[in-house]
Amino acid sequence: MKRKVPELLAPAGSLDKLKVAVDYGANAVYLGGLKFGLRSAAENFTKQELREGVDYAHAKGALVYVVLNGFLHDKDLDELGEFIQFLDQIKIDAVIVSDLGTIATISEQTNLEIHLSTQASCLNIDSARLWKKMGVTRVVVGREVSIAEAALIKKEAQIEVEMFVHGSMCMAYSGNCVISNFTQGRDSNRGGCAHSCRFEYSLDFPKMGLAAKHNYFMSSKDLSGLRVLEEFIAAGIDSIKVEGRMKSHLYAATMAKVYSQALDYYEEHGHFLSEKLLEWEDELKKVTHRTYAQANLIDKANADTIFNEREHDTELDYVMVGRVIGQIEDKETVIEVRNAFNQYDEVEILPFKGSVLKQGLNHIKLLNGQEIERSKPSTLVKIPYVCGAEVNNIVRMRKV
Amino acid sequence: MKFISYATNKHDLSLLKECSYSEVILSFEDLNRLIKTSYDDFIELCQMAKTFQMRVILEWDVLATENDFAPKKSLFDSIPAELYDAIRVQDPGVLEYVLGTTDKPIQFIAETGNHNLKGLKVWEEYIGHRLERLVLSIELNKDKIKEYTCALKTPTELLVAGRVLLFYSPRKLLSPLALSEAKAEYGGSFLEAVGSSEESPHKGFPLVENQHGTFMFHIKDLFLLDRYEQLEQTGLDWLRIDLRDRQDLSFLKTLHEFLAKPSFHSDDLKEAYGKEVIRGYFQTNKSDVLFKKLKNYRVQRKDEAYIGEVVEIAKPEYMALELKSHLHLKKDSQLKIINPNGKEFFCKVHFLKDLAFDDLPKTHKGQLVLMNYMGGVWPKSQVYLDS
């Protein structure tokens, strides 16, 4: 018997990343068009890419949600109509919205399903009830909401609930930070966040005669809910979401693979009592991340959830060195190189399902057969044949 | 235009009375983000305001998750209804609650994330006859404000002098940095600090931590009173002055003395305010114009005639393309290639081969193909059919 588990919703910062997330097991992806979202610096999707992305995801049984979650101004709304009609036409599965004017525009002009963005900071039952009356079918609750509180919201407001399970965290209530707006002239709530919360600050407490130099007091540790997946399931949370449209292909692959494996395991066994949990945790540590914490998922986030460090790589971090783009006659595997690696290095190939494939590189060749000692980014190279590798598998290596 | 302000003690309230304020915003520490007033003192202030025949606006602006919301509801329910005249709310959950449990007029704080007329009209429609005022966002410029005040049925209000809240977190971010003994000595429940970062051009952000979390403010106050005539032209009904960070409200007396004069120099008023000030977005809001610089649009594909992307250059033998569209590539196709610097190149396909260097008669989407090298083109260049 398969047990009910939440939808795994992964970020897709580009069409390539959408394919990565879907191929590695995400049930749904969220992405942005060229406007109206909160990630102006992400690659985002042109209309044709959106169409292709929807076709690709749907063909593999995954859903596509499009973010329109900026706090839109009048001139943005003026341009929105044509875009949402296009989204309706290509049959995306929902839009993620944070602004009432946007909701009204979408409701008037399309039949699109509307999810409320976490940006709207829906924190309690009454708030969810109000948004439901406005036409919202799902709320992505604020990241301050615990799993237990989210369960109450779902039950009492009779609405689908989505929660973040993994990724970077805003320290502020989402939508309630305008540091970038007033210090850098970039609207953080329309895609221009300058991440001022990650800056180093020196603080003075004048009334106390204290000074605290060199702090990252507004920088939050990253969220990881892997250890409490069972609580999400018991609470009946409809969708668990991974943050990170700006993050790497390796991140997209790792998140989709780990969390989908974990949910699959639960579907089959009804528990997480497995050594695999440690394996999955190790995998999550291999992508660049800040220290993990459970933030507000169980208890209120306390002082321990402040990262208070400069952003840095750790020795555990892996880097994506390329992706598989073909196999030649079961003799060699062709890789598009993204980061350089050397002859005799060991690379790891992340298959869509199953365990990591390790491959020592006793040779690296250019396509024309010339042997080289070190690969270069943005080249195609042949490495010894990796049995089980498929096109678009991510290739990674421990950072040196 | 009328003025409204906060009172946090009897002295403030008397001063507002003296300045002929008809309304006052009152609240207490459990329902308000920044007010330190206790529940009992709040009740006393409400009673005093009643004797002054001032309307009391109860402000409930804290954000709260479900478990924290329930006790706040109880506290709110315990306030004698005759002590206040209207409720000012921001969280949609609080709005929903007060709509269902009271019949008081509502002043809705639409300061966060309400930057379009359509949304404001939906709030107007939803709250209906109970909506007494809309508090507009300081991110709207004067032209937008004018447009909105004409189009809305509801009276409007704007912050015209006071601190600009930049950041509101439920987490306590200052106390971990302050010594616990010193914290106890200074009361502990309301910590204040000043923060500066080498990575920001602005130094000295005021910070407050209290039971609701941590708040950061702009280093300068918003001040629009020196543009009083422009404010009048916007059609705003109410101007809010928020001096809760000051010892007293004496500036209000000064302000009204200025306003009583037939004319005054706006710089004198600004000087009398006594702090460094900004006008924020009142003149214009161009906070989206820098977005264009956040990424390289040249490596973003255009949909029309798109073929794919260059993934490798092997000078002078070949270049490898990843075909990303349904358009077919064949020998003799004419191509336009745009490199990441935006430079355009035109070339003809002389050969097409697969990864094993075998000739390809035709191509398909997703395929990796090798074609003749073209100088000036490098990986991430975007390839289009040039018809």
pLDDT in tens, A168-210: 999 999 999 999 998 888 888 888 888 899 999 999 999 889 9
- Region A217-243: mean pLDDT is 97
- Region B283-295: mean pLDDT is 76
pLDDT tens column, B297-349: 666 777 789 999 999 999 899 999 999 888 889 889 999 999 988 899 999 99
ipTM of the complex: 0.94
Q: Is residue A123 over pLDDT 70?
A: yes
B356 in contact with chain A, both atoms CB, cutoff 8 A: yes
At residue A345 the predicted structure's pLDDT band, cuts being 50, 70 and 90, is very high
Q: At what angle do helices B92-101 and A125-133 cross, to 10 degrees?
A: 90
Between residues A322 and A186, the one the model is more confident about: A322
pLDDT given at position B292? 66
The one-letter amino acid at A239: S
Asked if A380 and B355 come within 8 Å (Cβ–Cβ), the reply is: yes
> In chain A, what residues touch B168 (CB-CB under 8 Å)?
172-173, 176-177
Q: What is the CATH number of domain B297-385?
A: 2.40.30.10
Q: Spell out the CATH class of B2-164+221-289.
A: alpha beta
- Alpha-carbon span B302 to B4, nearest angstrom: 53
Q: Is residue B357 over pLDDT 60?
A: yes
Q: Is residue A400 over pLDDT 80?
A: no
Q: Is residue B185 over pLDDT 60?
A: no
Helix (H) or strand (E) run with residue B28 in it: none
Residue with tokens 């491959």: A359
Q: Is residue B182 over pLDDT 60?
A: no
Q: Is residue B296 over pLDDT 70?
A: no
At residue A264 the predicted structure's pLDDT band, cuts being 50, 70 and 90, is very high
DSSP string, B240-284: EEE-TTSS--HHHHHHHHHHHSS---HHHHHHHH-S-EE-TTSS-
Q: Is residue B187 over pLDDT 60?
A: no
pLDDT given at position B294? 63
Structure token pair of residue A308: 């208070």
Residue with tokens 């000012």: B88
- Alpha-carbon span A268 to A280, nearest angstrom: 17
Are the C-beta atoms of residues A37 and A3 closer than 8 Å to each other? no
B94 in contact with chain A, both atoms CB, cutoff 8 A: yes
Q: Is residue A251 over pLDDT 60?
A: yes
| pTM of this structure | 0.93
> In chain A, what residues touch B182 (CB-CB under 8 Å)?
205, 208-210
Query: How many Å is the maximal CA-CA distance in chain B?
Result: 95
A323 in contact with chain B, both atoms CB, cutoff 8 A: no
Nearest partner of B293 among A200, A98, A185, judged by Cα: A185
Q: Which of A119, A153, A184, A201 would you mutate first to test chain B, the one with the most B CBs within 10 A? A: A201
- Alpha-carbon span A100 to B122, nearest angstrom: 7
pLDDT tens column, A363-390: 999 998 999 999 999 999 999 999 999 9
- Alpha-carbon span A151 to A145, nearest angstrom: 10
- Region B153-168: mean pLDDT is 98
Q: Is residue A1 over pLDDT 80?
A: no
Residues 213-232 of B with CB under 8 A from A: 216, 218
Report, in angstroms and rounded to the nearest whole number, the Rg of chain A calculated over CA atoms: 22
Domain ranges across chain A? 7-176+221-302, 179-215, 318-398
Residue A209 burial (C-beta neighbours within 10 Å; 0-12, 13-18, 19+)? exposed
* Per-residue 3-state assignment (H helix, E strand, C coil) for B171-229: CCCCHHHCCHHHHHHCCCCCEEEEEECCCCCCEEEEEEEECCEEEEECCCEEECHHHHH
- Domain A7-176+221-302 and domain A318-398 have a common topology: no
* % of chain A with per-residue pLDDT over 70: 97
Between residues A42 and B212, the one the model is more confident about: B212
Q: Is residue A315 over pLDDT 90?
A: no
Task: For B221-251, give one letter per residue: b (16+ CB within 10 A) or e.
Answer: bbbbbbbbeebeebbbbbbbbbbbeeeebeb
With CA atoms as reference, the chain B residue closest to A108 would be B118
Task: Please tell me which of the candidates A149, A197, A212 has its beta carbon nearest to residue B65.
Answer: A149
- Region B32-61: mean pLDDT is 97
Structure token pair of residue A218: 């507004």
Structure token pair of residue B297: 């649009």
Start-to-end CA distance of chain B, whole Å, equals 63
What is the CA angle B228-B142-B169, rounded to 5? 100
pLDDT given at position A391? 92
At residue A316 the predicted structure's pLDDT band, cuts being 50, 70 and 90, is low
pLDDT tens column, B102-124: 999 999 999 998 999 999 999 99
Are the C-beta atoms of residues A140 and A221 closer than 8 Å to each other? no
With CA atoms as reference, the chain A residue closest to B178 would be A210
Task: Please tell me which of the candidates A101, A191, A200 has its beta carbon nearest to residue B198.
Answer: A200
pLDDT tens column, A65-87: 999 999 999 999 999 999 999 99
CA distance A191 to chain B (A): 8
- A283 Rama sector, left if φ>0, alpha if ψ -120 to 50, beta otherwise: alpha
A294 in contact with chain B, both atoms CB, cutoff 8 A: no
Show Cβ contacts of residue B41 under 8 Å, excluding neighbours closer than 6 positions. B9, B28
Residue with tokens 């992964």: A10
Q: What is the CATH number of domain A318-398?
A: 2.40.30.10
Bridge partners of residue A30, in order along the sequence: A11, A65
Q: Is residue A39 over pLDDT 80?
A: no
| Location of each CATH 3.20.20.60 domain in chain B | 2-164+221-289
- Alpha-carbon span A217 to A199, nearest angstrom: 9
Task: Please tell me which of the candidates A127, A182, A218 has its beta carbon nearest to residue B91.
Answer: A127
pLDDT tens column, B318-332: 999 999 888 889 889
Give B195-198 contacts, CB < 8 A, sequence gap 24+. B195/A201, B195/A202, B195/A203, B195/A204, B195/A217, B196/A201, B196/A202, B197/A196, B197/A199, B197/A200, B197/A201, B197/A202, B198/A199, B198/A200
pLDDT tens column, A140-149: 999 999 999 9
Peptide bond before B316: cis, by omega within 30 degrees of 0?
yes
- pLDDT, chain A, mean: 93
- Region A239-254: mean pLDDT is 95
B113 in contact with chain A, both atoms CB, cutoff 8 A: yes
Lowest mean pLDDT among A224-238, B68-82, B327-341: B327-341
- Region B142-148: mean pLDDT is 98
pLDDT given at position A56? 96
A210 in contact with chain B, both atoms CB, cutoff 8 A: yes
Q: What are phi and psi of B142, to 5 degrees?
A: -65, -35
Are the C-beta atoms of residues B54 and B21 closer than 8 Å to each other? yes
User: Which architecture characterizes domain A7-176+221-302 according to CATH?
Assistant: Alpha-Beta Barrel (3.20)
CB atoms within 10 A of CB B76: 18
Nearest partner of B165 among B109, B248, B249, judged by Cα: B109
> In chain A, what residues touch B179 (CB-CB under 8 Å)?
208, 210
